[in-house]
A = this chain, B = another copy of it.
Amino acid sequence: MMTNKPKSTSLLLAVDFAGTLVFAIEGAMAAANGHLDLLGAMVLAFVTALGGGIIRDVLIGAIPPNSIRDWRYGAIAFAGAAAVFLFEEQVRHIPQMLMLALDAAGLSLFAVAGAEKALDYGIHPFLAILMGGITGVGGGTVRDVLLAQVPTVLRADVYATAALAGAAVVVAGRGMKLPKTAVAMTGISVCFLLRMISVWRHWNLPVLGMR
C-alpha cells in the first residue's frame, strides 16, 4: 500500500491547486452565509477543498493523505478563506454564472484526478469511479454536514452524477489503454459540460418518494 507513486507533474499540480482554491472560496462563502467566525471559515475552506481527497486517500490506502503530506494544499485553502474574509463584498459580486463555471471546473478536475489516483493504487475500476465521485463531492458533503444540513449533492441537480461520469470516462479510457492526457481531458470535458448543461437546462435526476 505504501509504495512510492509517480509524483504529479507541475501542470497537474497547478491544476490541482486551482481547484483547491475555488473550492476553498466556496467553503468560506458557506461559512460567511452561516455567520461563522474566521476560524470557522478556515475550517470550512479546508474541509470543502480537501475533504474529498482526504476521504479518497484514506480509503485507497494513500496515508497520510496528499494534503497532509504537502503543506501547500492547506496553505491555499486558508488563502481562499482569507480572501473571502478580506474581500467579502467583492467576492459576493462575482457573477453567479462564473462561480458555477469555476465550481464545475474544480469538480471535473477533482473527479478525474481522483479516479486516476485510485487506479494507480490498484483499486477496481468500478470502485475507482466511486473514488472519483467522492473526490469531487466529498468535501462539499462534509461541509454541509458540519453546517447541520442535508448535503446538497444528495438533494439536487446533476452534480455528483457529472463527477461520476467524468470518472467513468477516465476509467474506461485507461481500461482501453488510450493516451492518458487525452483520456483525462475527455473526462474533464464530459464532467464540466454535463454539469453546466444540467444547470442551464435545469436537469434533475428522478426523485423517490414522490407518490
A176 at the interface (CB under 8 A from B): no
Residue of chain B at shortest CB distance from A142: B145
Q: For A74, what are the chain B residues with a Cβ–Cβ distance below 8 Å?
A: 126-127, 130
Q: For A150, what are the chain B residues with a Cβ–Cβ distance below 8 Å?
A: 34, 146-148
Please report the C-alpha to C-alpha distance between residue A211 and residue B90 in the assembled complex, in whole angstroms.
13
- Asked if B64 and A154 sit within 8 Å, CB to CB, the answer is no
**Known contacts A38-B208, A41-B208, A44-B154; A123/B64 CB under 8 A:** yes
Give chain A's interface secondary structure class: helix
Please report the C-alpha to C-alpha distance between residue A122 and residue B148 in the assembled complex, in whole angstroms.
34
Residue of chain B at shortest CB distance from A2: B1
**Known contacts A1-B63, A58-B58; A207/B123 CB under 8 A:** no
**A168-211 Cβ-contact flags toward B at 8 Å (1 or 0):** 00000000000000000000000000000000000011111111
- Asked if A205 and B127 sit within 8 Å, CB to CB, the answer is no
**A31-73 Cβ-contact flags toward B at 8 Å (1 or 0):** 1111111111101101000000010001111011100111100
A149 at the interface (CB under 8 A from B): yes
> Interface-forming stretch among A11-19, A107-115, A155-163?
A155-163
- Asked if B58 and A63 sit within 8 Å, CB to CB, the answer is yes
Give the contacting residue for A88; candidates B38, B149, B209; CB below 8 A: B209
